[in-house]
A = this chain, B = another copy of it.
Amino acid sequence: MDRKTATIQDVARVAGVSTATVSRTLSKPSVVAESTREAVLSAVAETGYRINSTASNLRRQRTGSVIALIPNLANPFFSQILAGMSSVLAPAQLGLLVADTQTGTDPEARLADFLQSGQADGLVLFDGTMSPGALDLPGRPPVLMACEWMGGDLPSIRVDNARGAEMAVAHLADVGHRAIGHVTGPPGNVLTETRLSGFQRGLTRHGLQARADWVFGGDFSMDSGAAAARRWLALDDRPTALFCASDEMAIGFMGAVQHAGIRVPEDLSIVGFDNIDVVAHLTPALTTIRQPRTVIGVRAAELLVDMIDAGSLTGPSEVVEVEFIPRKSVAPPRAARG
């Protein structure tokens, strides 16, 4: 049969028309006559022709794919976001390339490389730890920040992190906690900062004071949550409730304190952030702040596609709502019960 895959030339020959007509039949069928359209389509079927996207892309000066640049690909937080992105990119005939920023030695150089390589029509950047100037490159494609963001006025999609943190604190205060601690993300990260400031605002709104020895530095990982728990255990005067800036840290924290014989929520209340899938199945199920990850992925892709279609480097920013998910890891403090 066909040694090689058929080209548009083959189709044209079989259909008895020019390559221009074949191309038109496939891209804007309305402009070709009905009879020729049928001839072309049956020739396509006969030859098994598939459009060569590389050639098409070259001629049309595009690449047919977008890149999702993630801090760390191994982080399962992003898988659902990728799924959301994929669900809008696939119908738009765009491929989804993935790569991570924190893998090599120089993240900014890696970003610059992707921006200039011309491998993608657009880029979704999930890493906010770049210097603002890192995007000042001639001829770069549109970039959308997602989840994290950085200085400048880049279009972005994110949740209201401060508000989420405030909701967490509010709930803890409402059930009677006066001694509330916090486990933060890594220093310098925007999510760390906004969630911390939301935490503090929540405290002051409830007439509480932040205590420096009650905020524990972490890095969003489970291990860092466990490490924070060990510092909490070593305290003489412990907070009775904790807001962790990520579910992963909450998991690590809760596991470590339970291991030490502390009961959650009887002895300690914990609230997480993200609502990753697993936390609903923990014992106790974790109370947390939900980030709608699928929605974030979908909207990120949609916003980026809009920018690509408009040929614009700028675009709107969007913030999607977080949601408080009450479960079983929060209870009134002992004092309030006793």
> A residues near B, CB below 8 A?
1-2, 4-5, 48, 50, 52-55, 57-58, 63-65, 72-76, 78-80, 82-83, 86-87, 90, 95-100, 103, 116-119, 138-139, 222, 225-226, 251-252, 254-256, 258-259, 277-278, 280-283, 285, 294
Contacts and interface: CB of A to CB of B under 8 A. Distances in A.
How many protomers of this protein does the assembly include? 2
Contact of A86 (B2, B90, B103, B225): B103
B138 A2 contact: yes
A54 B95 CA distance: 14
26 contacts: A2-B138, A2-B139, A5-B116, A50-B116, A50-B118, A52-B58, A53-B118, A54-B58, A64-B119, A65-B95, A72-B83, A73-B79, A73-B80, A73-B82, A74-B82, A75-B79, A76-B76, A76-B79, A79-B79, A86-B103, A222-B277, A222-B280, A251-B281, A254-B281, A255-B285, A282-B282
Contact of A5 (B118, B252, B258): B118
Nearest to A103: B87
Nearest to A85: B73
A158 to B, nearest CB: 20
B281 A222 contact: yes
A251 B255 CA distance: 14
A97 B100 contact: no
Contacts of A225: 281
Contacts of A52: 58, 118
Nearest to A6: B139
Contacts of A116: 5, 50
Given A79-B74, A251-B278, A99 B103 contact: no
A113 to B, nearest CB: 9
A53 B119 contact: yes
A-B pairs, 3 with minimum CB distance: A76-B76, A255-B281, A73-B83
A5 B140 CA distance: 9
A47 to B, nearest CB: 11
A100 B79 contact: no
A139 B4 contact: yes
Nearest to A73: B83
A285 B65 CA distance: 42
A97 B99 contact: no
Contacts of A100: 83, 86
A315 to B, nearest CB: 22
Nearest to A68: B98
A74 B80 CA distance: 4
A90 B225 CA distance: 32
